[in-house]
Structure 1
Amino acid sequence: MTQSNTSQTSGGGRLLNTFLNRPVEDHGSGWSNLWDSGESGLWDRGKASPALVDIVEQERELLNPFTADGKRKKALVPGCGRGYDVVMLALHGFDAYGLEISDTAVKEAEKYASAELAKPSAYHFGSEQRSSRTPGLVTFFQGDFFSSQWEFKGGIDENTKFDVIYDYTFLCALHPEQRRQWSASMARVTKPGGLLVCLEFPLYKDPKLPGPPWGLKGVHWNLLAEGGDGIITGEVGEGGKERKVASSEVGDFRRVLYVKPARSYEVAKGTDMVSVYVHK
């Protein structure tokens, strides 16, 4: 599973056809096959997320890469693709980890990271232009996010919980039947008080249309704050609007930030949102 292409619609397309009649439990191999056949260009954005760059640089107190005693915080990007966002987080001070289901993707990410850490591209930075911080560690894993049996290395084991997790198009690459599993896995690997940062996409697409990508309007709120199954069949409720978080919310996460990014990928059509949730 990885970052998914916005150009696919119910009318067809390579991604849509790859998963159209594939059993849900076999979707992971579908993503791996696309990597192995050199078709990652279907979804690859070619750079770190501008929205994530800005939120990391602008919300310094919320997304401080260091603990109170000066230790680096650990950030995870499931479905990290070539690792653009993993490298960006490391350049901003986090020890950053990327998880991919495809061994081919992991190898490409490691190659990309080696080059970028030696000579970072400008897109890793926004107003800072270039961070003065010494980069954190970059580590990639091959494995299934829904399983605890990752290829552990770099001080990570099955008991490790992360300070920050970032999701861009990992959730929208998953079949709706897997959404509750996604939120349960996020809760499992996020520290109490840790942050789940989501670039919510695509929000312009009808959630009832087939994917990937699957439309996600209202889905993050339903899964994380309301503890629902993420299956949206009617009008989006209050979670789709900017509002304060009510104390009665029963999900594993509490939303503390919900903003429209000033910069994002063009494919988002100006509709995506950045949400930040705290694990209770």
Structure 2
Amino acid sequence: MTTPAERLQTPEGRSRLIKHFEQSSIEKHNDAWNDLWETGSSNMWDRGKPSPALIDLLEQREDILSPIAANGQRKKILVPGCGKGYDVVMLALHGFDAVGLEISSKGVSTAEEYAHKELQTPQAYNFGPAWANKFGRGSVSFIQGDFFQSDCTKGEKFDLIYDYTFLCALHPEMRAQWASRMADLLFSGGLLVCLEFPLFKELSHPGPPWPLQGVHSDLLAEGGDGILYPPKPPQQAGTGSFERKWYIKPERSYESGQGADMLSIYARK
């Protein structure tokens, strides 16, 4: 028997999600996501566990992502579109003060329920083979709101942001707003960590999830609008608000993106 996440990768599963959003204008997409939560359809995109690629990055490359700042304080990380909170809890277990953001009030209550239970008895899937409890546990909190509204996080800025399936859930016309908002939410020098998915879909294919081949670099480093289909001349390199620091093919990722996913890390200028 296939899992809900695996069913989403079949033509039938993708068609269901795509058809749901074809019936809504871009302005109504927030409502469309909320409807999926309210009707118990969030399992269409649910992975059931935190990101193996992110876990390995945290545990194997502390030189890149340490939860403790030079002044000894814990770093604060935001996970927009956090779903049921798997990555938020895992990040807190690895020492970060982690904040999850969801558009749906039901999504937030689901994540809070998961976090309350999981923090009491963490499951093994939160940790990789290199796990060592060096930093203690950070805090977990959730916000219900619209990522694109400036008052959503009450003016707070973050040391890091993690994006997995948030960008690919947005209509391509919203990508430039996504990049601008990411820049607003990060401190100068702060890091945006992206598990790029899906990279196996042709740019001409519909979404969500929308294909993202080359989109992150265009948006963040080159200052483009992220709309790469139909093809157009590239932007001048280095004109974006971010500089790409690392581009890594993870050894482990979710089954749906294994072998195709890339981890990219961008620093806010």
3-state SS of 1:268 partner: coil
Judging changes above 3 Å, is the alpha-carbon distance between structure 1 residues 271 and 176 closer, same or farther for their aligned structure 2 residues? same
Q: Please say if 1:197 is aligned against 2:197.
A: no
Q: What is the CA distance between 1:128 and its match in structure 2?
A: 3.1
Judging changes above 3 Å, is the alpha-carbon distance between structure 1 residues 36 and 148 closer, same or farther for their aligned structure 2 residues? same
Q: Which residue of 2 aligns with 1:73?
A: 75
Out of 131, 135, 138, the position equivalent to 2:137 is 135
Within 5 A, what are the aligned runs for 1:39-54?
39-54=41-56
* Letter of the structure 1 residue corresponding to residue 222 of structure 2: E
Q: Which residue of 2 aligns with 1:37?
A: 39
Which 4+ runs in 1 deviate beyond 3 A?
8-12, 234-239
Instruction: State the alpha-carbon separation in 2 of the partners of residues 180 and 204 from structure 1.
Output: 22
* Letter of the structure 2 residue corresponding to residue 59 of structure 1: R
Q: What is the CA distance between 1:13 and its match in structure 2?
A: 2.3
Q: Which residue of 1 aligns with 2:243?
A: 254
1:179-228, CA deviations, whole angstroms, 9 ceiling, x for partnerless residues? 00100010010110000000000001011111000000000000000000
Q: Please say if 1:230 is aligned against 2:232.
A: no
3-state SS of 1:266 partner: coil
Count of residues in Structure 1 that have an aligned counterpart in Structure 2: 265
Greater relative contact order, per chain length (Cα 8 Å cut-off, separation 6+): 1
Q: Please say if 1:111 is aligned against 2:107.
A: no
* Equivalent residues of 2:8, 2:14 under 8 A apart: no
* Equivalent residues of 1:258, 1:274 under 8 A apart: yes
Out of 47, 60, 63, the position equivalent to 2:62 is 60
Within 5 A, what are the aligned runs for 1:169-188?
169-188=165-184
Instruction: State the alpha-carbon separation in 2 of the partners of residues 119 and 276 from structure 1.
Output: 31
Q: Show structure 1 runs of 5+ residues with no match.
A: 151-156, 240-245
* Equivalent residues of 1:122, 1:130 under 8 A apart: no
* Equivalent residues of 1:9, 1:211 under 8 A apart: no
3-state SS of 1:267 partner: coil
Q: What is the CA distance between 1:127 and its match in structure 2?
A: 2.2
Q: How big is the alpha-carbon RMSD for the aligned residues of Structure 1 and Structure 2?
A: 2.3
* Equivalent residues of 2:60, 2:130 under 8 A apart: no
Judging changes above 3 Å, is the alpha-carbon distance between structure 1 residues 238 and 9 closer, same or farther for their aligned structure 2 residues? farther
* Letter of the structure 2 residue corresponding to residue 254 of structure 1: E
Judging changes above 3 Å, is the alpha-carbon distance between structure 1 residues 8 and 53 closer, same or farther for their aligned structure 2 residues? same
